[in-house]
Homo-oligomer: A and B are copies of this chain.
Amino acid sequence: MMPDQEKGLSSLRRALALLRIVARGDPAGMRLKDIASAAGCSQSTAHRALQDLMAEGFVEQVEGGKRYRPSLDFFVLAARAGQAGGIRDLARPVLLRLATTLSDTIFFLVRNGYDAVCLDRVEGPFPIRSFTGDIGGKVPLGLGQGSLAILAHLPEAEQEEVIRFNIPRLIDRGFLDEAGLRAAIARAREQGWVNLNTGLIPGMAGAGVPVIDTQGRPVAALSVGTLAERLGPERLPGVVRILKTEADNLAAGLNPFDVTLRYPLRSLSNVRP
C-alpha cells in the first residue's frame, strides 16, 4: 500500500529495522507477516533475518507459538546503554540522597536530541505518574519539569530549533501552545528552575532543575514529583535549593564524561516534525 521505504538499504539496516519493529510492537509478540509488511520486505527475508536475530539472542519466540518478541537478553544488554557514557552511575547516589532527604519521587533525565529520556527514578511514598513514565521513557523537550528545565537552558539558537521541532509534538500531546511554552521557558530561565502543577493528575506537582556541564550545556535534569500540597510556598524554596545543590554536585563529577549526544536519529525516533 504505502510507498516503499527508501530503497537499497543494506541487508543489515533492514534487519535492524526489523528488530526495531519487533521491539516496538506488541509485548506479547508479533506475527511474521505483520513484521514483514511493516518492514516492507518479503516474508522470506523477514523470516531469515528473524532467525538470525533469534540465534543472536535479540529476539525470541513465545513458547509454543510463532510470534516474535524482543528477548529479555536484549533488555539486559541494553540496560547498560542507559549509562550514557557513565552518567547514570554518577547520578544514582544523588538520587538516593534526594529521595531520602525529600521523601518524594525523584527523576533523572538526560537530553537526547529533541527529547529527554528518563534514565533513573526513585519512588517516594506516593505513586506519581510522570510524562516519561518508566525508566527508559522519553518525552519531547519542554514537557514536564525536568524536560522543560533542560530546554530552558539551551543556547538560544539550539533552543529555537528544538522549539520549532517540538511545538507540533507538544500540541499533539495536548499541552501548551507556543506562547505558553515560551512564557514557561522564560520563567524557567530566569529562575533557574521549573515548577509546574500541570501534572498528569490533578493534585500533583513537581519541580525540576537542569544539570549543567562544564561547557555550560544542560545535559540532564533532576526533578521531583509529589502531591501539590507538598510543594506549597513554604516548602518549595527549600526543595529547589536542595535540587540545585545536588545538580551542582552531579555536574562537578561530569567533567571526564562527554554526555553530549549527537543529533537525533530519525530512524529511532518516531517523531513527526
Name A's B-contacting residues (CB within 8 A): 10-13, 15-17, 20, 23-24, 27-29, 49, 52-58, 60-65, 69-86, 96, 99-100, 110, 112, 117, 119, 122-123, 125, 127, 134-138, 257-258, 260-262, 265-269
Contacts and interface: CB of A to CB of B under 8 A. Distances in A.
B72 A81 contact: yes
B79 A96 contact: no
- Say how many copies of this protein the assembly contains: 2
Interface centre among A17, A62, A82, A96 (most CB of B within 10 A): A82
Given A123-B99, A265-B57, A268-B56, A79 B137 contact: yes
Nearest to A52: B12
A56 B20 contact: yes
Of A27, A260, A269, chain B has the most CB atoms within 10 Å of the CB of: A27
A85 B29 CA distance: 7
A77 B24 contact: yes
A183 to B, nearest CB: 29
A38 to B, nearest CB: 15
Tell me if A's interface is mostly helix, strand, loop or mixed.
mixed
Contact of A80 (B13, B23, B61, B84): B23
B267 A56 contact: yes
B85 A81 contact: no
B60 A72 contact: no
B136 A73 contact: no
Contact of A13 (B56, B76, B79, B265): B56
8 smallest beta-carbon distances between A and B, as pairs: A79-B136, A78-B78, A57-B265, A57-B268, A70-B81, A73-B268, A27-B83, A75-B81
A212 to B, nearest CB: 17
A28 B254 CA distance: 12
Contacts of A57: 265-269
A255 to B, nearest CB: 13
